[in-house]
Structure 1
Amino acid sequence: MKKILTILLLLPGLSFGQTHEANIKKIYDTELSAGHTYDNLRFLCKEIGNRLAGSPGAAAAVEWTRQLMESYGFDTVYLQPVMVPHWVRGGKDVVKIVNSQKHGTLELSALALGNTQGTGPKGLLGQVVEVKSIDHLKSLGMQVKGKIVFFNGPMDPTKVDAFEAYGGANAQRSSGAAEASKLGAIGSIVRSLSNRIDDIPHTGNQRYAADFPKIPALAISTQDAELLSDLLEDQSDLTLYLESHGQMLEEKLSYNVIGEIRGSEKPEEIIAVGGHLDSWDVGEGAHDDGAGCMQAIEVLRIYKQLGWKPKRTIRAVMWMNEENGLRGGQEYAKVAKEKGEKHIAAIESDSGGFLPTGFSSTGTDAQREKLASWVSYFLPYQVWSLNKPGGGADIGPLRDQGPILIGLEPDSQKYFIYHHTEADVFEAVDQRELELGAAAMTALVYLIEQEGI
């Protein structure tokens, strides 16, 4: 009798698990055989193109994603207003060696960094000083006064996680110009943040320090950074000519684009899933972050195709202005707090449309243990890890409101080949890898809306 009772007590749990396995298989089968993610990404990249906040491309992307979600019949689709910075590149960016004993005048592959104040058409000339880090710069002190600082600290090749390597080198790009300006430098250039030696420059955001001059800041390709460094070993008096035309214009009204399917049992509990709709003004913003946006919309579309009604509310969010301001994520969290909304989870895809390997998270021990307990459901789909620390930039402002913050973790090895470059185009995205990411996100949303977290 005791054995029979034990079996009966275990049956509900066993049945529950089998239901999850069957439904997750339906999710994967639906996406891999009849998904819309890839075709939607094609339209975003090829018909709209790059989408820097405040640009016509960003405005077109807002309207198209609104119409797309409405066409899928989501319960609610709306625009959330947000004021965004409006930076324009304004012209061709130039970094040129003018007095090389080996090459004479030599132009390097360059892109101005985002939010940078340009030189204007007259450009500027200055002797170049190479440093390997912010600390190295500070050790030189006023020796860099009147000069152009060249930040040449590479991403650490020994870091298997490319995002960890990126994080170790990113300060040079994000705050290098500000720190150089404090010491009297007249300009800065930075080695592109890539784990490959090539001739493609990478842009990206940088921030000035208040009360110090806004000096021009540009990136050069990794190949040209190697060349410039080699030339400096033999000729310390190398002079560069910089020319850029960037300027910050008046802020513009833009929008986060939001669509949701309301929960049937606990509609007040919200699961947000999304990516950032803006991109840099070069390339097509395919991996960064068109892929994440289309994957997020696909989560809700799969629910509609399968005829499922979630227990909790699922909300797809296209955040605006992650690249050079994070205004969309901040506004979303602000409005959620003002409305007293209860987010139990926020999931972001902003690491490219590559093969998914797991999810990272930030939350309480109980939340993260619950997430990790679901790993067996993902193993058949070669998603191995659910316990890595992490999250995402746009969902970060929600942290103090209590949800678990989750980031999709694709294979990171190729991401920084394309990141913030003209090479980030639709053709760089593999259809099956993109769809596997969409399916993994949908499966995780399914588990959270069913069980809570």
Structure 2
Amino acid sequence: MKKRYLLGMGLMLFLGIQAQAQDPVIENIIKEARENSQLKDLGHELLDGIGPRLVGTPQMQQAHDWAVEKYQSWGIEARNEQWGEWRGWDRGITHIDMVEPWVRSLSGMQLAWSPSSPEGGAQGEVIVLPDLADAATFQTWLPNAKGKYVMISTPQMTGRPDYNWEEWATEESFERMKEERAEFERAWNQRLQKTGLGRRELPQALEDAGALGIITSYWSRGFGANKIFSAMTKKVPTVDLSLEDYGMLFRLADSGKKPMIHLNAQSKETGVQPTFNTIAEIKGTEKPDEYVMLSAHFDSWDGGTGATDNGTGTILMMEVMRILKEVYPNPKRTILVGHWGSEEQGLNGSRAFVEDHPEIVANLQALFNQDNGTGRVANLSGQGFVDSYEYLGRWLSKVPREITRDIETTFPGNPGGGGSDYASFVAAKAPAFNLSSLSWSYYNYTWHTNLDTYDKIVFDDVQNNAILAAIMVYMACEEPEMVSKELRIPLGRNGEPTDWPTPRSPTRKGGMD
């Protein structure tokens, strides 16, 4: 009986130690994230309710104001900090109809900052950029573009992605297609080079010659996906057509069928607009002048609604702040979140913050950035900080194993020189880390495409990322001392030391050249 009693007491003591070992804040972070998630509502309000967030547009300003209001409703201080100005532009409708040789509404949209069509649109023949001998011949030809819509992109030989060919084609057929495609693309590039003009100058030369508009197609190597970037024209619209419709128009024009389209692309210039970062803050109680930061860019391109680039990073960081305010309202260090503007044009918002707030950067304990899509975090690099393995490893050990088991780490790693906003802080020698995600076909299907929409979000993965980021922030706040900022000078491909990235100033007046 005595032996059984001692065994029972030992088990109770063991369980008691285990219970003490379970940090109640971490338990509450996990519980709040899983039982009271606001991610779907945040995603709906931002992506469906406001839409894409191109810098300088009304939607970008609406998003900044919405985020401040949302934070304040959670009892979190928030503000919009102006860091520059940008060309203001408001997207309108894009309606494209082929009217000859038969009638069909085409799938396409005007590129960002595109000039508009005349009121009600304009009808004209579609022609293909000709293959001419040299730049002088091209200049002689240019008057032929007057009153025409000119196609300047490479038509695709196949609308099937390579993975579809790999699944169904014979090996010989697949290889032949790739060889023919490479040769066709080479020939088209030569055609462009023989105009004597670059990517920016060619559309402007055509509009100066009186073209009605420019037609492009930037296929993203996935079914139905096109990348939507910015127009180079200043006076006439530039529209991007789907691979399928661009190919049809190209073949008709190339074979002498003289297709006609009616294009009505309406947009509005809105003058110079202020640009902002949205900053939210939970003040530290013991070390308020030391900081742990969350980071995600707020802006997007506007082919879709910017769901995975970077709506998911945005709602992730908002959710982390909400959770921490609920379960850890009095952190030892100050917790900041930066929702950056104009990342897509060169990390401008985060570079401005680094430049404008050296006192925060100097006292930064750690920054966690998320950008590349909806997937669960799969990679974490130490960014060249010598002791990052020690503290990041300890913090990660507190995250549930089912979340961290597939994360690949690289320590100390090399400093990121660009790609997302953490690099702005790394260049300033502040410990900033990128929570890099699984692909979920990000590059082909959602990165800067017309398909980057709410339905592509994998909320289970984003929820796991919220738990991970919230625990990492909590652990960084609780760390007794500031972490080491000792650097490992990166090595180049030849094994020789290279330079640490250099901080770069932002573009504070954009799109107005």
TM over 0.5: yes
Aligned pairs, how many? 405
1:243-279 alpha-carbon deviations (Å, 9 max, x no partner): 5344543121343221112334543333321323344
CA–CA distance in 1 between the matches of 2:59 and 2:281?
24
Aligned match for 1:355, one of 375, 399, 402: 375
Q: Give 1:178 shift.
A: 0.8
- Is 1:111 equivalent to 2:109 in the alignment? yes
1:129-140 alignment runs, 5 A limit = 129=129
CA–CA distance in 2 between the matches of 1:434 and 1:141?
55
1:120-159 alignment runs, 5 A limit = 120=118, 121-122=121-122, 125-129=125-129, 142=138, 146=145, 147-152=150-155, 157=162
Q: 1:316/1:43 Cα in 2 relative to 1: closer, same or farther (>3 Å)?
A: same
CA–CA distance in 2 between the matches of 1:195 and 1:21?
47
**Alpha carbons 2:161, 2:222 under 8 Å: kept:** no
1:43-54 alignment runs, 5 A limit = 43-54=45-56
1:259-318 alpha-carbon deviations (Å, 9 max, x no partner): 112334543333321323344556544333332222112222222222364443321122
**2:429 counterpart residue number:** 402
1:49-88 alpha-carbon deviations (Å, 9 max, x no partner): 44444444333332232122123233x4222124333122
Aligned match for 2:402, one of 380, 386, 390: 380
CA–CA distance in 1 between the matches of 2:271 and 2:215?
26
1:172-211 alignment runs, 5 A limit = 177-178=199-200, 180-181=202-203, 188-198=214-224, 201-205=226-230, 208=232
Q: 1:439/1:106 Cα in 2 relative to 1: closer, same or farther (>3 Å)?
A: same
1:268-347 alignment runs, 5 A limit = 268-281=289-302, 283-307=304-328, 309-323=330-344, 327-337=348-358, 342-347=363-368
SS in 2 for 1:363: coil
Q: 1:327/1:177 Cα in 2 relative to 1: closer, same or farther (>3 Å)?
A: same
Q: Give 1:123 shift.
A: 6.3
**2:454 counterpart residue number:** 426
Q: 1:430/1:129 Cα in 2 relative to 1: closer, same or farther (>3 Å)?
A: same
CA–CA distance in 2 between the matches of 1:28 and 1:237?
63
Counterpart amino acid of residue 149 in structure 1: I
CA–CA distance in 2 between the matches of 1:338 and 1:217?
44
**1:81 counterpart residue number:** 82
1:202-281 alignment runs, 5 A limit = 202-205=227-230, 208=232, 216-225=237-246, 227=248, 235=255, 241=261, 244-246=265-267, 248-281=269-302
Q: Give 1:433 shift.
A: 2.4
**2:9 counterpart residue number:** none
**2:63 counterpart residue number:** 61
- Runs of 5+ consecutive residues of structure 1 not aligned to the other structure: 1-14, 132-137, 159-168
1:346-386 alpha-carbon deviations (Å, 9 max, x no partner): 3332223x231324557324266457746655553144223
CA–CA distance in 2 between the matches of 1:36 and 1:413?
22
**Alpha carbons 2:312, 2:462 under 8 Å: kept:** yes
1:111-150 alpha-carbon deviations (Å, 9 max, x no partner): 122123345433665522499xxxxxx9999599555311
Q: 1:438/1:222 Cα in 2 relative to 1: closer, same or farther (>3 Å)?
A: farther
Q: 1:38/1:331 Cα in 2 relative to 1: closer, same or farther (>3 Å)?
A: same
Aligned match for 1:40, one of 16, 39, 42: 42
Larger CA Rg, structure 1 vs 2: 2
**Alpha carbons 1:177, 1:217 under 8 Å: kept:** no
Q: Give 1:401 shift.
A: 1.7
Query: How does the TM-score come out when normalised to structure 1?
Result: 0.71
**1:437 counterpart residue number:** 465
Q: Give 1:25 shift.
A: 5.5
Aligned match for 1:417, one of 445, 450, 461: 445
Counterpart amino acid of residue 59 in structure 2: G
CA–CA distance in 2 between the matches of 1:435 and 1:98?
48
1:123-181 alpha-carbon deviations (Å, 9 max, x no partner): 665522499xxxxxx999959955531145799857xxxxxxxxxx9xx9xx9841534
Q: 1:284/1:182 Cα in 2 relative to 1: closer, same or farther (>3 Å)?
A: closer
- Runs of 5+ consecutive residues of structure 2 not aligned to the other structure: 1-16, 164-184, 190-196, 485-513
**Alpha carbons 2:94, 2:108 under 8 Å: kept:** no
**1:5 counterpart residue number:** none
